[in-house]
Structure 1
Amino acid sequence: MSIALASPSFARPTVLDISEMLLLGLAWGASFLFMRVATPEFGPVALVALRVAVAALLLAPLLRGVWRHPDAGRWWRPVLMLGIFNSALPFCLFALSALSLPAGFSAVLNATAILWGATLGWAIFGARLGGVQALGLLLGVSGVVGMVAHKLAAAEPTAGLPLGVGAAVLATACYGACAHYTHRHLADAPAPLVAAGSQAAAALVLLVPGGLAWPVHPPSALAWGCALALGGLCTALAYLMYFRLIRRLGAGRAMTVTMLVPAFGVMLGVALLGEPLTPGIVLGGGLVLAGSALVLGVWPRSARRAPPSQEVSA
């Protein structure tokens, strides 16, 4: 295989890794609430252009002197591809889906990224899925469905529903493919470089479209606050952690964070929107956490890291 979801070729998860995954799940869970509030006022393209521009500005100091690195010449193309297909395009697709889908619904669909990662990893990159990790995926997906079943059942069919669902699923397919692409082409690149460079690339790509789509009526202070939070917390800080996790743990295990996003999305809905906390949510959240633990994988402490020549992700 190139990479299994719990391959001993990668580092064993530490307390810091798990803490970062929880924080990442919280940040990305909140992002669906922020998009739901801000997208109607900014529009999908303008909001995402602002989001990546804020992230790029915050991360810009990390790019200082990077072009003097001996490997910079082979890094810039993958970073550009990542900016387009892991940020600009999926961010716009999720913002588009926010116009017609509830935040919880979008958070559920976001969890399919790990399924795309496993499927594309097997179909394209030669990855294998162990039995324990397959069970973890099953538990995690079952937990996601059970946790938000009331949201899905209550969602009223609208003309925009198929478009919203299709956009969200296509976005998660981008995430699944890019996780493997990142580890294959940027495994030895510093996480700050990948995070900063990809957001700078996304900002450059969306500069003109975002300007053309800028709203005629000034957005409210609340919408501005949500947009800035999307850029700072949910993008700049989040991607620093995410790319570090991919480099340390591999694409498959890093992507298990997507199974935590719906849990945090539902909890934020309960805390901020007054949504009821049902037994199904509690049980589903437990299954999500259990499934994430299985996909993370536990192997003997004596397992050693594979030689660099064998260490290919995908």
Structure 2
Amino acid sequence: MAARDWFWVILLGAIWGCSFLFNAVLIREIDPLWVSALRVGVGMLGCWAVFFAMGKSLPRGVLVYAQMLLLGIIGYTIPFALFPLSQMHLASGVAAIINALTPITTVIVSHFWPGGERATMLKSAGVVAGFGGAALLALPALQSGGTSQLWAIGACLLATLCYAVSLNYTRRFVRMDPTTIATLALTGATLAGIPLAFAAHGAPVITRPETVGAALGIGLVATTFGFMIMYRLLPRIGATNFTTVTFIAPVSAIILGVTLLGERLLPSHFLGMAAIFLGLLLIDGRIVRRWRGARA
């Protein structure tokens, strides 16, 4: 990747690590479904502002809007609710570490996706290492009988699977304008998320200024700004390179969780993160190829 691409990848990783801090603040006052609904709703408003400011035009045809609705539900509405749900029982840093499994679940989904990329032996080894890391993360809960933590870890894993499916599904929109994709997908996510949150919990009651600030931060910074960058980077650097943002997100999430929220991470959590990162390195393959080349 070019230096400018690395700059955006590192910046996005740091920003998306902050989203776990925002989630932790939001769930203190509102339910996880409303966390998701507010995130996609505020993000959608920001995207529409950019859409009109740039003079973009809407695509024609009913099918594309149905596809954007599906992308929004799978890629945003569901996982954006699953992560705050899990953070009711997990530290934000642990949730961010599990989020780093996204490239690993993407390898699995891509292997079976029509026209997707088949998994090599190296990538398969990366998948094994990654899920070994997830097992290490679950170890404290298993030892203490904490079933709520196990359910929370499962919710995070399901969220990464949603991301993997949406990344593969997004391939069909390579010719569509990135701003349009972000705007319509978030609109679809909002149309699904807000009625669902109302049906499940009624109207949210927000009294704390930090809740408002977290909603604006996760909506405008982590979502509007993040997605505008994401959909421009994806066609240029590819899905595999792009998922290296998951190396950075846990680092910023852990630093913020420990310093601002007083969270505590166990040695097994760091061992799990190391195993997941090893899996990501194996899936990426560049270091292994360079090592083989040096030996040859």
Shorter-chain TM range is: 0.7 to 0.9
- Tell me which residue corresponds to 1:251: 239
1:235 alignment partner AA: T
Give the Å deviation of 1:178.
0.8
Answer yes or no: is the 8 Å Cα contact 2:110–2:117 preserved in 1: yes
- Tell me which residue corresponds to 2:22: 34
Give the Å deviation of 1:165.
1.9
- Tell me which residue corresponds to 2:294: none
Higher mean Cα deviation, 123-132 or 152-161? 152-161
Higher mean Cα deviation, 74-83 or 225-234? 74-83
Give the direction of change, closer, same or farther, for the CA distance of 1:73–1:249 in structure 2 (3 Å limit): farther
The DSSP-based 3-state class of the residue aligned with 1:225 is helix
Give the direction of change, closer, same or farther, for the CA distance of 1:227–1:152 in structure 2 (3 Å limit): farther
- Tell me which residue corresponds to 2:167: 179
CA distance in 2, matches of 1:68, 1:139: 43
2:178 alignment partner AA: A
Give the Å deviation of 1:95.
1.9
Answer yes or no: is the 8 Å Cα contact 2:20–2:92 preserved in 1: yes
* 2:118 maps to 1:128: yes
State the Cα deviation string for residues 123-163 of structure 1 (Å, max 9, x = none).
23341345666677777778x779x96x9648965452233
Give the direction of change, closer, same or farther, for the CA distance of 1:276–1:103 in structure 2 (3 Å limit): closer
Give the Å deviation of 1:57.
0.6
CA distance in 2, matches of 1:193, 1:232: 16
Alignment of 1:1-314 (within 5 A): 13-64=1-52, 66-67=56-57, 69=59, 75-125=64-114, 126-130=116-120, 153=140, 157-183=145-171, 185-212=172-199, 213-214=201-202, 217-273=205-261
Query: Gaps spanning 5+ residues in structure 1: where?
Result: 1-12, 300-314
Give the Å deviation of 1:88.
0.6
Give the direction of change, closer, same or farther, for the CA distance of 1:46–1:68 in structure 2 (3 Å limit): closer
Higher mean Cα deviation, 83-92 or 271-280? 271-280
Give the direction of change, closer, same or farther, for the CA distance of 1:21–1:199 in structure 2 (3 Å limit): same
Answer yes or no: is the 8 Å Cα contact 2:82–2:159 preserved in 1: yes
2:7 alignment partner AA: S
Give the direction of change, closer, same or farther, for the CA distance of 1:274–1:68 in structure 2 (3 Å limit): closer
The DSSP-based 3-state class of the residue aligned with 2:29 is helix
Q: Which has the higher helix share?
A: 2
Give the Å deviation of 1:291.
6.9
TM-score by length of 2: 0.79
CA distance in 2, matches of 1:291, 1:15: 24
- Tell me which residue corresponds to 1:312: none
Query: Gaps spanning 5+ residues in structure 2: where?
Result: 288-296
Give the Å deviation of 1:263.
2.2
Give the direction of change, closer, same or farther, for the CA distance of 1:157–1:107 in structure 2 (3 Å limit): farther
Answer yes or no: is the 8 Å Cα contact 1:263–1:288 preserved in 2: no
1:190 alignment partner AA: D
The DSSP-based 3-state class of the residue aligned with 1:80 is helix
CA distance in 2, matches of 1:100, 1:277: 13
The size of the alignment, in residue pairs, is 283
Higher mean Cα deviation, 275-284 or 204-213? 275-284
The DSSP-based 3-state class of the residue aligned with 2:27 is helix
Give the Å deviation of 1:22.
1.0
CA distance in 2, matches of 1:216, 1:182: 32
Answer yes or no: is the 8 Å Cα contact 1:63–1:197 preserved in 2: no
